Chain A
């Protein structure tokens, strides 16, 4: 039995959420003025507007040497927090982690890249930031350059690089680290498909042939399936299931799309002044029935329930951003774009229905973000509020399904032969 190289015991991480403050940072001025206010008004509620949020809740697991473990879960499930604790960037609130060996973590592509510096200079800088020493970088330099395919642009400032080149260079540096444990967050979502494949291959090589341990977070189930032998499925800070990849992934996919009504009342990760409050979302088909999946080529409906917390809403703008299974934004539904802002809304509860006509999305699980402004101020904003799935359908009304794996959406079109 190989000993575990990562041993996580009862790990918890809590954050204090402030409900009143909207600013991104605390100013001493506010702290002082709040203290003074509460002294004079005798109102202690001012100070009690914060509450604890458990980003990780009593998580325990172990990883053995050479294992490749995928961490999956919806956004906000605690994946990034877990990786940040393992990378020693943040400290846990409770519990303990024991790690044997050198850890390199890649939470972002190109951390510390400076746009003014050349490719060559950034390789050294980024290498040092990721924990390589100078001689190690010198030794690997040529390998990094050829992996990134940027030979000709080595002495060009990276601000002039295309985003593809930038990502390639950044990943190349990281891929040539030689840690015993490699921690990788969703970094492969960027870059073109070919390069993604190359990166996955490199990671596989690193773990399979060199016996390194890899911890990998991704929303790309294909990548996880390819690379990882086992998975940890996190949900709201807890481990919902862990085990062999081919047992965990189906469970995740199913639960991700299994709620016809998506409740939002208990979502704490929202931003905005609160003049409206999203409560739930329902997905309906063309017969007005609640469904779990919409069908490609058919009509559908998104019903967004909200509570109105102010007297009257003017210039009520609501937008729903749709992300594909790879986390890429595919489209946005916005009543500002369609010129249908709501004004003079007085009811305390309401539903905004978005009628989708001839859904052009291909099969897959889509997640959506809810966003709203009232009079130009953000009222309520929930990133990754929920998911719905789209089933393959007869988009072109030909009686058969269009071919899969050829692009990500459909466009109504026809063909004509002219002289």
Chain B
């Protein structure tokens, strides 16, 4: 028998928090597995939804970019330019919104069982990751259709995926914790997701912004503060090749900002998680 001593006190900072989190990794996988299973039960075309949703986003953004005549680098089809940006965006928006709503959706667990609460929002990201892998196949299909071969930069793709994950999880944890106390935040989520789609370089490329003749400098700085700009530019750089403009200071800002969001998200989440069961 494992001799395990637990002391419960009002202010007790759980010293074993990260160890506990590791011990509950099984639950993490089971929750993710549940979300995957449940997602496609009672749907007619099942897994095909993971293909249709990103495809529709790609086509819609393609159309908008074409309509407003956003620039396309030489030798790169517009559809691919949009697709390379739409999939990280899709990943960010779905994992951010799923993580944000996860605590409320699992409130019955929170009030009946103990486990490190961080598991709940973290496990939702897995479903989104699977969707992302499927949408990656779409991009591969488009590449094949245009017989476009990516260059060596493609090996850096996971790094940018991690950046998107850090950002969406960080922001998701923050909103999820706030959502427990103030349900207003559930209205913030679609708002961020909707506006973000147009403020991030999905239909256009960052070059249009940085090279814009009449846009003032401070607007360009504000634009680069959006951490998804860094992620999307990174994805395009990996998938489409290295000759795309890559705004370094903006990108570094993205990375720094993403990690700040993650640490702030985790620390706020940990500070408030003890009271989740009381107020949810």
Contact = CB atoms under 8 A, between A and B. Distances in A.
A111 interface: yes
Contact of A107 (B5, B8, B33, B112): B112
Contact of A26 (B38, B109, B182, B278): B182
Contacts of B19: none
Interface of A: 15, 25-29, 31, 84-103, 105, 107-108, 111-112, 114, 116-117, 121, 124-125, 128-131, 133-134, 157, 180
The residue in A84, A87, A88 that gathers the most chain B C-beta atoms within 10 A of its C-beta is A88
B249 interface: no
Contact of B274 (A91, A95, A101, A107): A91
A99 B8 contact: yes
B109 A129 contact: yes
Contacts of A131: 27, 115
B116 to A, nearest CB: 10
Nearest to B181: A26
Contacts of A92: 8-10
A90 B278 contact: yes
Given A87-B114, A114-B34, 14 more contacts: A26-B183, A26-B279, A28-B184, A89-B113, A90-B277, A98-B8, A102-B2, A107-B113, A108-B112, A111-B112, A117-B34, A117-B38, A129-B113, A131-B27
Contact of A121 (B5, B37, B274, B275): B37
Nearest to A180: B1
20 contacts: A28-B182, A28-B184, A84-B111, A86-B8, A89-B113, A89-B114, A89-B277, A92-B8, A94-B10, A99-B6, A99-B7, A100-B3, A101-B1, A105-B114, A107-B112, A107-B113, A121-B34, A124-B30, A129-B109, A131-B27
A212 to B, nearest CB: 10
A88 B14 CA distance: 11
Interface residues of B, number: 39
Contacts of A100: 3-5
Contacts of A89: 110-114, 277
Interface string B173-215: 0000000011111000000000000000000000000000000
B3 A101 contact: yes
B75 interface: no
A159 B182 CA distance: 32
A357 B181 CA distance: 49
B109 A97 contact: no
A93 B10 contact: yes
Interface string B105-124: 00011111111000000000
Closest 10 CB pairs of A and B: A128-B30, A28-B182, A88-B114, A97-B8, A111-B112, A28-B184, A116-B41, A99-B6, A89-B277, A128-B27
A176 to B, nearest CB: 16
A131 B27 CA distance: 8
B26 interface: yes
A279 B184 CA distance: 37
A108 B110 CA distance: 12
Given A98-B6, A114-B34, A129 B27 contact: yes
B7 A133 contact: no
B184 A29 contact: yes
B42 A116 contact: yes
Contacts of B109: 111-112, 129
A173 to B, nearest CB: 13
A323 to B, nearest CB: 22
B6 A134 contact: no
Contacts of A102: 2, 4
Contacts of B30: 124-125, 128-129
Contact of A84 (B27, B37, B182, B277): B277
Contact of A31 (B8, B182, B279): B182
Interface in B1-52: 1-10, 12, 26-27, 30-31, 33-34, 37-38, 41-42
A183 to B, nearest CB: 10
Nearest to A130: B113
Nearest to A115: B38
Interface in B107-148: 108-115
Contacts of B42: 116
Contacts of B181: 25-26
B10 A91 contact: yes
A106 B109 CA distance: 12
A349 to B, nearest CB: 36
The residue in B34, B185, B275 that gathers the most chain A C-beta atoms within 10 A of its C-beta is B34
Contacts of A108: 108, 112
Contacts of A84: 111, 277
B183 to A, nearest CB: 5
A234 to B, nearest CB: 18
Nearest to B35: A114
A103 B3 CA distance: 11
Nearest to A211: B1
The residue in A29, A31, A89 that gathers the most chain B C-beta atoms within 10 A of its C-beta is A89
A301 B249 CA distance: 81
A112 B8 contact: no
A131 B10 CA distance: 24
Given A111-B109, A128-B27, A96 B8 contact: yes
